[in-house]
Structure 1
């Protein structure tokens, strides 16, 4: 426990690793672009009270909590660990990116990092990082000047992000909106987008952030120590790099588990085409 809590306090990866066993079964092909999530939960009148409407939630998988653990219960969980390859991509080494692997991936965990704004009323800073994850590799692209990737690489990134490959994560509309505002002004839509929150929205869960979902469906804890760090630094720390990699890979891992649990439900939220607005 001491080692685990120390890792949580510093944001550094723990010494141990884990593998989450999953039952393999035949997968359906991703739905075509433009298909919206399933119908909303039904509403029925409560007997004896015509004016009162009660929400009726779909059947929920047995053995999984409807709320994330907190406090000591959360701290007792093993920390989520990624033990694949992490590629930090800058303008100096962008020629080494394996675009074949990225372009051929059927599912990509997707996340971004932005230098936080601590003063109320200020506009958000430009997106500093894009993270893309497969089962055993994560690419972290630095976007800001001085060390950031070139416009050529940004165009290739835009092609990946707007393609039909499934991109999974949490809060993706905001991520896409901010990327388009500062880096990809010509990208107005993206195909194959799956926000993990949409998958569980019909079930009335109390918490649906990435860390809550990881605790509920992976039984793992995601460290938050680096969340508010300076992502605009040209030289990222090892703790920042590890944090960014885990955040993107967690989306990839969660999608596999949640798909096995919810895909047969009428409420399943398939990949869809996202229209990117500035609102």
Structure 2
């Protein structure tokens, strides 16, 4: 028998205690080839990664994004925020994303995957859309990271709207941007681990 489960409302989530986030000491900004090689070596020690991307927002009707501008990959202990303006860094990230030996878990990855194909010229492999797992468990609506954290951990995942709509193409990312981006991927890694439980 299929049971339909309700997705938690914004009001319900607002009452929950705050979900812990990675601090800056657990986040590595990667914007050149040597850093990218180091990050890739660290990531390859782990089978599963949290995954997300960010693109500079478009505000005009027919404006097409040239994102993603950053790619975030995370383990349970550390997150890496890769800036893609350096061609060697972009190439290394493309290699990581095309490597099917590692699961890349995240939310709402359809758009991310399309943009990666267009910009990085690779088909991301091993991508796991976490919403599909929640659908299989009877949740009707897309869960998203906030809903997933509420359901699995009974906590509230904080996302800054200001950071979300900031300029991700900026060569110098702010601390707020780094924390926002890294924690999106990290929360996905934590949700994936909890679902495998």
- TM score, norm. by length of structure 2: 0.86
Q: Name the CA distance, whole Å, in 1 between partners of 2:160 and 2:57.
A: 14
1:175 corresponds to: 112
Instruction: Name the SS for the 2:169 alignment partner.
Output: coil
1:77 lines up with 2:11 in the alignment: no
More helix by share: 2
Q: Name the CA distance, whole Å, in 2 between partners of 1:100 and 1:133.
A: 13
Distance of aligned partners of 1:122 and 1:210 in 2 relative to their CA distance in 1, 3 Å threshold: same
What is the correspondence of 1:103-182 to structure 2 with a 5 Å cutoff?
Answer: 103-143=44-84, 148-149=85-86, 151-163=87-99, 164-182=101-119
Q: Runs of 4+ in structure 1 displaced over 6 angstroms?
A: none
1:215 corresponds to: 150
Larger radius of gyration: 1
1:101 to 18, 33, 42: 42
2:186 corresponds to: 249
Instruction: Name the SS for the 2:149 alignment partner.
Output: helix
Instruction: Name the SS for the 1:240 alignment partner.
Output: helix
Output one character per residue of 1:31-52: Cα deviation in whole Å (capped at 9) or x when no partner. xxxxxxxxxxxxxxxxxxxxxx
Instruction: Name the SS for the 2:125 alignment partner.
Output: strand
- Verify the 8 A CA contact 1:69 1:215 in the aligned structure 2: no
- In the TM superposition, what is the alpha-carbon distance from 1:254 to its structure 2 partner? 0.3
Cα-Cα RMSD: 2.2
1:236 to 165, 173, 178: 173
- In the TM superposition, what is the alpha-carbon distance from 1:169 to its structure 2 partner? 0.2
More strand by share: 1
Structure 2 segments unaligned to the other structure (5+ residues): none
Distance of aligned partners of 1:103 and 1:89 in 2 relative to their CA distance in 1, 3 Å threshold: same
Q: Name the CA distance, whole Å, in 2 between partners of 1:138 and 1:157.
A: 14
Output one character per residue of 1:205-233: Cα deviation in whole Å (capped at 9) or x when no partner. 33412222122222222223211111121
- In the TM superposition, what is the alpha-carbon distance from 1:125 to its structure 2 partner? 3.3
- In the TM superposition, what is the alpha-carbon distance from 1:92 to its structure 2 partner? 7.9
